[in-house]
Amino acid sequence: MEILGVRVDAINSTQACDKVVLAVAEKRQLIIFTPNPEMVVRAQRDAYFRAVINHGDINICDGFGLQLVGGGALHRVSGVDFMEDLCLLAEKEGWRVYVLGAGDRVVVDTCIQELKKKYPNITICGGHPGPKLEERDVHGQLLVVPMDEEVQDTVIHEIIMLEPEILFVGFGHGKQEKWIYEHIPSLLSVRAAVGVGGAIDYIAKKTVRPPQWIRVCGFEWLWRLMWQPSRIKRIWDATVVFMWYNIVHKIKTYVNTKR
């Protein structure tokens, strides 16, 4: 399904995991993104980001707003839940996992410790907070550029040497998708590179995850606003701006069909 020019796949977590199993068996690489309303809004303003998302092999619906607009055709799977489902599969299949992102060594290490507690037989071969990234306009495209090339080179070299099959990347929406898209070709062992947003923070318990009933009702945005008032601009985009864009799109589509 296409929502405001962004492809979102009608796929659940089990189906996505099955595709990863097949990719490992066939020694192919999969890029897996988890679009949400905020990302769709961002894609309206950043053509390169939109192209990158649409290049994903699997785009899992991660957001009540997308599910609402999709009319029930989309299966909602949060980045945290999919990361844990894939870790369970990695434990079963004996795959090696690498955790990249969050920007904080303590958070990454804590996330790895929590995953090992939950999945005792999992092989997490490494983790790194990642390079600090900034977006720069290069010939009309907002590219992600490391603020320290040496750190970036170290991370890439480590992933190549440790040879993980599963790579979780949590640089925040926009940066992580672009980073995966630009660097996955050089990470030959990786079979599934997954953009997981704030999942590393949630698993490390740096960020408090809302109760199940709030997630089911689609009020995660309100929970985040209560705990992180600084996110108000992002929450505004994910709720009001997203719905406004969809209303305008529907009106334009209706008018065009009547001409």
**Tens-digit pLDDT string for the chain (259 aa):** 999 999 999 999 999 999 999 999 999 999 999 999 999 999 999 999 999 999 999 999 998 899 999 887 899 999 999 999 999 999 999 999 999 999 999 999 999 999 999 999 999 999 999 999 999 988 888 999 999 999 999 999 999 999 999 999 999 999 999 999 999 999 999 999 999 989 999 999 998 777 777 777 777 767 776 777 777 888 888 889 999 999 999 898 888 887 7
Of 98, 93, 133, nearest to 112 by C-alpha is: 98
**Helix or strand holding residue 2 (H, E):** strand 2-3
Q: What does the pLDDT read at residue 212?
A: 77
What's the pTM?
0.93
pLDDT at 211: 76
3-state secondary structure of 103: coil
pLDDT of residue 138: 87
Would you state the pLDDT for residue 213? 72
The H or E element spanning position 222 is helix 220-227
- Cα–Cα distance for residue pair 190/161, rounded to 1 Å: 11
pLDDT for 86: 98
Q: Where are the alpha helices (DSSP H) in 70-167?
A: 79-93, 105-118, 149-162
> What's the pLDDT score for residue 238?
86
pLDDT at 191: 98
∠ CA(59), CA(127), CA(147), 5° rounding? Answer: 80
Rounded to 10 degrees, what is the CA torsion of 64, 69, 70, 71?
A: 100
